Amino acid sequence: YGYYYLISGTKNYLTEFWEKFMSRIENQLNENKTPTILVVDDNQQNLELLQAYLEDIDCRTIPAGDGPEALEIVSQNRPDLILLDVMMPNMSGFEVCKRIKTDPKTENIPVIMVTALNEFGDIERSIDSGTDDFLSKPVNKLELLTRVKTMLKLKHLSDKLERTLAYLREIEK
């Protein structure tokens, strides 16, 4: 009778251990995925130029022509980074950024505003909308790639920390 409980308890422990082990393996595999960058600009030439610059980085780009399209893509694809034009029809980049940063599901996606607006008030408005960084147009390729790589590294580390904390909370139970 006592052996049954010993064997039954061991089986449950092994099953739980195996599930946690496989979950960690799966998380580590997902950790090495190619980053996705959403590029948002209403000007097709700017969109193509930014995507061409990003070809120097191992990433996948998704283009969007305006704010509503960008928000739809963000809700479905959860990109690792967003390059966002400020001056767009239908919805400004400020509004798009504010919506992304106030949604708990998307608030941790880094946003780099790409803008021709260089006045202090415009920079302040970008920061108020929640942007993580900004670039002035015309975009310098080296500066763009450096900032994108930095943001992707920060996002990767943030995601890794979140997974580690979730794992620690799980084994604490």
- Where are the domains positioned within the chain? 2-30, 33-167
Please say whether the beta carbons of 90 and 68 come within 8 A: yes
Q: Place 108 in a pLDDT band, splitting at 50, 70 and 90.
A: very high
Residue 66 CB coordination number (10 Å): 17
- CA-CA-CA-CA dihedral for 123, 125, 127, 128, to nearest 10: 160
Report pLDDT digits (tens) over 115-136.
887 766 777 888 889 999 989 8
Query: Residue 60 forms beta bridges with which residues?
Result: 36
Tokens matching residue 102: 């106030």
Would you place residue 11 in the very low, low, confident or very high pLDDT band (cuts 50, 70, 90)?
A: low
Look up the CATH architecture of domain 33-167.
3-Layer(aba) Sandwich (3.40)
Name residues whose C-beta falls within 8 Å of residue 122's C-beta, 6 or more positions apart in sequence. 86, 115
* Measured distance CA(35)–CA(81) in Å, rounded: 8
Q: CA of 84: how far to CAs of 21, 28, 132, in Å? A: 39, 30, 11
- Which amino acid belongs to residue 113? M
pTM above 0.85, yes or no: no
Question: pLDDT tens-digit profile of 40-84?
Answer: 999 999 999 999 999 999 999 999 999 999 999 999 999 999 999
Q: 1-9: long-range contacts (C-beta < 8 A, 24 or more apart)?
A: none
